[in-house]
Amino acid sequence: MSPGEVSGARSAESLLRELAPQALGAVARRFGDFSAAEDAVQEALLAAATRWPADGTPDNPLGWLIRVAARRMTDQYRSEDARRRRETLAASWSLATTAGPVPGEEDDDARDDTLILMFMCCHPSLTPGSAIPLTLRAVGGLTTREIASAFLVPEPTMAQRISRAKATLKASGEPFTLPPPDQRAGRLRSVLHVLYLLFNEGYASSSGPDLARSDLSGEAIRLARALHASLPGHPEVTGLLALMLLTDARRPARTGPGGELIPLAEQQRGRWDRALITEGTSLITGALRQGEPGEYQLQAAIAAVHDQAPSYAETGWPQILSLYGRLERLTGNPMVTLNRAVAVAMAEGPAAGLALLDGVGGRLGSHHRFHAVRGHLLELAGDGASAAAEFRAAAVGTANLREQHYLTAKAASLAAGGAEGSG
């Protein structure tokens, strides 16, 4: 295969994925049946993936997808009751005459459709474990097989997960429109949460045997970009996109050659992606001007301070400390307090950080990250033996393999250092 063919195949794939939510939006709106439309569009995408490379891309690719999907729906309904069949045929005739979107309305429709689809797929009645794959298929245009392989489960298992999610949606009676204005803020929070979890799913496993999963971060960024295009003025949407870009910028420095975790303090900052940092910083700077920031904006602001620092020691720790303080007040999340303890230690010395930890020990004393943070601060304070014990306790408690390797190695090296020091 020549390089030209490879890039041709790639651009056909990215065209299909870009058109997927538009085709689905059009079909779902006309037939009023999201669940069936989603299946029909998935089949149309699979058909296009085999036929377009052979026959050439049609002049109106979106119209082609809508027509094929509409035909599938008609075929499917044909076996159902006669009343429904007549209605469907009528709908498909009118569709054939207006094969594409009305000129001029195209962009608005596409933006709204993406938004409606995200609200549907991240419906509060769905767990994140169902909402994420459904969003990837319906909005991201991924195939069930691709999603199954990214989540390392067999295809039939993933197909069932998606179809159950759609059954739940159908039972909820959610219409294919934007939610009423008074519900929109709450529903948007669900969408942002799902995209945030999807990003972390990929970011937490970004190399080695989990390589395919790192694509999930890329998908999350793509979806966040689409959401941002639909709601360009929403500061938390901008904040989430900025957070993803500013975090993803560090990916090249975050793991060593063997896939081992490299903590922020030890990363080679020259390997960070400057273009992503510039874009993320400019997004978050603009969002912060719009008033009281939400949690994604605060997290993005913290990430931006880290990304701009020439080294760990020269980081703007007082600024990070104040941002964590605001985040803590906003979310009440004890994990934020742990991060604030690190910032306190860096800004005011390890003793101050350890004192802060003593205050939350009652709530978090058995959590592995409490031990990990305590280990770091004890190490900073020069107490290697106690730090090693904390890292060992943290390693036993984590459910993440790479984190476990890191914490075990940390405990071992401190224990060895301690033995040398005392002997």
Partner 1 sequence: MRFMLLQNYGPVGSDCPPMTEWSPADIRAHIEFQQVLNRELVERGELVDAQGLAGPEQAQRVVSDGAGVPVITDGPFPESKELLAGYRLVDVETGGRAIEIAAQASAAPGPGGVPIQQPIEVRQVLSAPDPEM
Q: Is residue 264 within the footprint of partner 1 (CB under 8 A)? A: no
Q: Is residue 214 within the footprint of partner 1 (CB under 8 A)? A: no
Among 57, 92, 200, 319, binds partner 1 (CB under 8 A): 200
Q: Is residue 197 within the footprint of partner 1 (CB under 8 A)? A: yes
Q: Is residue 415 within the footprint of partner 1 (CB under 8 A)? A: no
State which residue, 134 or 227, has the beta carbon closest to partner 1: 134
E runs forming strands in 62-160: none
Please choose, from the candidates 350, 252, 239, 357, the residue with its C-alpha nearest in 3D space to the C-alpha of residue 303: 239
Contact 246, 278 (CB under 8 A): no
Please choose, from the candidates 327, 242, 252, the residue with its C-alpha nearest in 3D space to the C-alpha of residue 287: 242
State which residue, 17 or 405, has the beta carbon closest to partner 1: 405
State which residue, 27 or 395, has the beta carbon closest to partner 1: 395
Q: Is residue 262 within the footprint of partner 1 (CB under 8 A)? A: no
What is the identity of the amino acid at 89? Answer: L
Pattern 386-405, partner 1, x by CB under 8 A: ------------xxxxxxx-
Question: Nearest approach, Cβ of 398 to partner 1 (angstroms)?
Answer: 7
Q: Is residue 146 within the footprint of partner 1 (CB under 8 A)? A: no
What is the identity of the amino acid at 363? Answer: R
State which residue, 48 or 394, has the beta carbon closest to partner 1: 394
State which residue, 84 or 164, has the beta carbon closest to partner 1: 164
Q: Is residue 161 within the footprint of partner 1 (CB under 8 A)? A: yes
Q: Is residue 164 within the footprint of partner 1 (CB under 8 A)? A: yes
> What are the two backbone dihedrals, phi and then psi, of residue 255, each rounded to the nearest 5 degrees?
-130, 150
Please choose, from the candidates 269, 275, 152, the residue with its C-alpha nearest in 3D space to the C-alpha of residue 216: 152
Question: Sign (positive/negative) of CA torsion 282, 200, 202, 345?
Answer: positive
State which residue, 11 or 400, has the beta carbon closest to partner 1: 400
Q: Is residue 151 within the footprint of partner 1 (CB under 8 A)? A: yes
Give the integer Cα–Cα distance in Å for 312 and 267.
9
Could you give the 3-state DSSP secondary structure of residue 243?
helix
Give the integer Cα–Cα distance in Å for 405 and 369.
14
Q: Is residue 125 within the footprint of partner 1 (CB under 8 A)? A: no
Among 22, 130, 255, 337, binds partner 1 (CB under 8 A): 130
Question: Nearest approach, Cβ of 357 to partner 1 (angstroms)?
Answer: 16
CA dist 291 → 235, 279, 286, 294, 302 (Å): 9, 20, 10, 9, 17
Q: Is residue 212 within the footprint of partner 1 (CB under 8 A)? A: no
Q: Looking only at residues 322 through 361 of this chain, which bind partner 1 when binding is defined by CB under 8 A?
A: 335
Question: Nearest approach, Cβ of 127 to partner 1 (angstroms)?
Answer: 5
Neighbour-count burial for 248-277, b at 16+ CB within 10 Å, e otherwise: bbbbebbbeeebebeeeeebeeeebbeebb
Q: Is residue 160 within the footprint of partner 1 (CB under 8 A)? A: yes
State which residue, 156 or 286, has the beta carbon closest to partner 1: 156
Give the integer Cα–Cα distance in Å for 275 and 287.
19
Contact 384, 371 (CB under 8 A): no
Contact 133, 162 (CB under 8 A): yes
Give the integer Cα–Cα distance in Å for 130 and 108.
28
State which residue, 49 or 153, has the beta carbon closest to partner 1: 153
Q: Is residue 127 within the footprint of partner 1 (CB under 8 A)? A: yes
Token representation of residue 314: 């020269």
Question: Nearest approach, Cβ of 257 to partner 1 (angstroms)?
Answer: 19
Among 12, 46, 47, 204, binds partner 1 (CB under 8 A): 204
**Binding residues for partner 1 (CB under 8 A):** 127, 129-130, 151-154, 156-158, 160-162, 164, 196-197, 200-201, 203-205, 210, 335, 369, 398-404
